[in-house]
């Protein structure tokens, strides 16, 4: 039961996956894309390759509660995934990029790809902890 998490951006999207038991989260890669269609194609290949049963997408909520441009952008991507019959769940991502920067060493912080995939790992860890808590 492998789960994949995405930290969706306009040009780069961080990817993380769980182990087959759905217990731990590991950064996988950063996808570089020009548009959502290109991102969708890359994600669908990873879903197949890693036998993913669910995709968790970080939902960028604004602190004032209003729907922002990125939330609309990510919402459109979620709609596209669901049209392809991918099971999707969301996690409100509050400052996952800032948290990722704090967890990476100085050299890694300079590499945007490392930050993006680490952000996806944080999103997935949050989701897995929530699921574990609900199961108890």
User: Is a pLDDT exceeding 50 seen at residue 54?
Assistant: yes
**CB neighbour class for 96 (10 Å; exposed up to 12, middle 13-18, buried from 19):** buried
| Average pLDDT of the chain, as a whole number | 85
Look at residue 113 in the predicted model and tell me its pLDDT.
59
Calpha distance 84→44 (Å, rounded):
9
The CATH architecture one would assign to domain 2-135 is: 2-Layer Sandwich (3.30)
Listed by start position, the domains of the chain span 2-135
Look at residue 111 in the predicted model and tell me its pLDDT.
55
């Amino acid at each position: 039961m492998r789960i994949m998490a995405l930290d969706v951006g306009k040009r780069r999207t961080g990817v993380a996956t769980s182990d087959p038991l759905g217990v731990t989260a590991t950064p996988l890669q950063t996808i570089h894309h020009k548009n959502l269609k290109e991102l969708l194609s890359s994600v669908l290949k990873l879903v197949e390759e890693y036998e993913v049963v669910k995709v968790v997408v970080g939902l960028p909520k604004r602190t004032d509660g209003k729907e922002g441009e990125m939330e609309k952008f990510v919402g459109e991507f979620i709609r596209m995934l669901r049209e392809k019959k991918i099971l999707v769940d969301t996690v409100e991502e509050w400052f996952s990029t800032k948290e990722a920067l704090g967890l990476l060493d100085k050299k890694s912080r300079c590499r945007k790809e490392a930050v993006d995939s680490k952000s996806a790992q944080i999103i997935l860890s949050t989701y897995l902890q929530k699921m574990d808590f609900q199961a108890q």
